[in-house]
Chain A
């Protein structure tokens, strides 16, 4: 079945450091890929998405490229801020699976001043 695997956390970085959170997936068809972010005490909100191979999603300085050949969708940011501290979830969905989101286990990011 479809699945998503993320790097384990927590990840602790200093402000202005470079961020990479790895995400790989297994899917039978052609999924759409997402990164959701959950700030402390809140629900999830979409950070970025990509719907086909080689697409790059970007938002708020974060980027991720849909790599079909390596089945990956790694999240990157060039310079993190304290306000980026949150839990990040990689997810996929396939239209023929009823649009259900399949989530990775989440990666907690803590950014220190």
Chain B
């Protein structure tokens, strides 16, 4: 199993550009989520999904869109990048929501100029 994979590893954007961060898991997990990590702030939840076709907002959803058309994939879209979105982004998945262990991808480091 590859676990949770994320692409790209690094990305530089200009303000106003759009892009999609890819996330895939091969563990047949129902629950997937996106976090951003900023210095001194831990990880904050952006969006999450409890299954294909179902998504919901987390703590910091503004400026980001998600969709979940398959169990395996959970892409994160930045529609119009802003410098405040410079961060490290992590995708995570778990078999079910609740007390179960979440498995994290290696992260995408995004810089918006």
0 or 1 for each of B87-102: is its CB under 8 Å from A? (1 = yes): 0001010101111111
On whether the beta carbons of A99 and B42 are closer than 8 Å, the reply is no
Chain B residues, Cβ within 8 Å of A46: 101-103
Of the candidates B50, B58, B90, the one whose C-beta lies within 8 Å of that of A44 is B90
Chain B residues, Cβ within 8 Å of A110: none
Of the candidates A43, A95, A106, the one whose C-beta lies within 8 Å of that of B97 is A95
0 or 1 for each of B11-22: is its CB under 8 Å from A? (1 = yes): 000000000000
Known: A36-B104, A45-B103, A95-B99. 6 other contacts (CB 8 A): A4-B42, A43-B90, A49-B99, A89-B42, A103-B44, A105-B42
Of the candidates A43, A45, A95, A105, the one whose C-beta lies within 8 Å of that of B41 is A105
- Please count how many residues in chain A sit with their CB below 8 Å of the partner chain's CB atoms: 22
A-B CB pair tally, cutoff 8 Å? 65
Which residues of B come within 8 Å of A, CB atoms?
A: 4, 31, 33, 35, 40-45, 48, 50, 56, 58, 90, 92, 94, 96-107
Chain B residues, Cβ within 8 Å of A34: 101
